[in-house]
Structure 1
């Protein structure tokens, strides 16, 4: 028996074709790590959970449709095809679409159910019933306390007050909302007291509107004997109930306008027909999308695109290595330049001059401090001597109540016998002077 001997390239090619042919397209919810985006515009990342991880690539033709930039640690929901990067033999996922995990799971469920119901014929344009020409009673299925019913009643009262409104109350959000909406539609059909049903609520997040995306409600609307208009959320919101209803209105107010006549009745019929045409196109588009997905899966098994993907990855890897090498060389050059600059600064006369100036500045400060100290000391000595002089000063003696007397020659008088009658003497006090005339001298 002849044994087949593989080359590594052939083995990796066989493994890639096996994985792509047998597993193909998958949905994956995981955490992002090792995210990188080279200049080519492609994304490379690892998706992981607590136990395993897988390498992934998302090329710029696909990632330009992603509304956010992935970050390490972020939970995402992706759809892609299993493949093998042949040059390294790495098993990987080629990502086609990516969404944040929370909204992504709901969006995935929405798309899956939409495709299923479309395949079951619930969106078929042939089954859509026309609205009655003359509408006298409208059954509104919504929350009786919400903003939607107030808007509807306001529009109907303005456009055609003669229309009677019967409210079939139901929750429009929460765990039991779907069942209560189904019960309200079935009750309206049992009573058969209105011309048309308006299933409605105001805007909200995808999670808030989720009860209108349940399969049970879709079948209830489809099986309703009364025509159903779906007016859920804002203009940008689209639910399963919109696809299966006979007519879709973008908002609750638009639904009320659609079901009431005024001078714009002809234009409303055009809007209705346009809406039906859009639904028919969407149904056709869904069918063609299913065919396209099948063809894409078949095309994935062939070589040209995969070869291009492999080459793109190899190019990006080489570019990342080149960028890293350039950065390393640049870093080494910067370190070498810094070392040379430091050596130049250490040998520069400027450095020595700066050092000498610094020392001179220190000596100048020391000299100033010494002079200040000498001056302070001299001032202290002067103050002490002044105090000593003040102690022996005649002026100090005068301040204690004594006086000094001088004669006309300005000599101090110490003996009265030396004074002559008729002469004058000057007595100096602590505060002022006194001149006296000698009248008589007694011994």
Structure 2
């Protein structure tokens, strides 16, 4: 008897192959949840090792897992897919393993299967084997496997997968996958599709590689930003992103994907499950003339974006724009003292807000157009910088100069590659900053 699946959030898409599907595949409906990169028991970066908010953050990955299971139960899905990095480190904590067993046992009691592959953070070599999982849980090993999923004695679909035997896997594991029948086929894999520069290039593959396997849905993990890739031939590769942001570079809503399959077509819906949300916010300084006003503006910015009722929010604030407070903020210790005051204020908010950091991006009040119109040394500096930024030959010569080359080599050793190629915007910005500094010193 087909299940009725209420919508949770609007949006999503559909993809699938209808040609060649057998009678059973055409008439049977089913749904599943796809999640990845749980990173259970992660040590949060940017969160103080003590304080009232620490416990909320430490519990957030476990709460996200529980909410994924809640979605499975509410949607009455057939199975859950977990695409690697369930744990944050190879030597997974006892607390994390117990939490995983507890939540998957809830699915087991409801007759919902779970399929798991392990990735670079939680390879098979890190499993001590001292904690069992319910019989309804299939953990794929280091060799590719294909599993039939059945309901009421009828074949429903195929789920294929392979786990990382150890941390570093450089092989294109997707090449092992292949369609084995006419029914809907899912590939469960922890991989870097298209060489995403923000993640280690483990199990690298291309869209063409995935399409060659002939599968309908690739349930991927590893990349923490939600994304969908339509494949040649009609399949789709999906990254659900991680279900709980762990630092300031993982902002916005985080969750899992519900997939409804009917007539070989997969319709996808994203469902947020995070309970602590990260934000990067600018605090505008235009018209702000006092520290009291700055505190009020910063608080208003945070409250406008962090009003949703979560276990907590975390923010990085950047003071942005030109204003009379620039000189005050430039005094030794000023930003640090302001940051400490705001951190204390925001922690008392409801819901509580963790201030990850306060960055000073303020600029002095200088009318650059007026400076340019006045001419003189400062106007000439602005004009020359602007001209250089638009002179390709001169810009190349500058980048190839001995002093800049040496500076570039030093920065490269520190992991900075800003000087690898000519950057016109940096030259224009340097001219503006020079004028601002000289104007400040003359004031």
Verify same fold: TM over 0.5: no
Greater share of helix residues, 1 or 2?
1
Greater share of strand residues, 1 or 2?
2
Q: Larger C-alpha radius of gyration, 1 or 2?
A: 1
Q: Which has the higher contact order (CA 8 A, sep 6+)?
A: 2
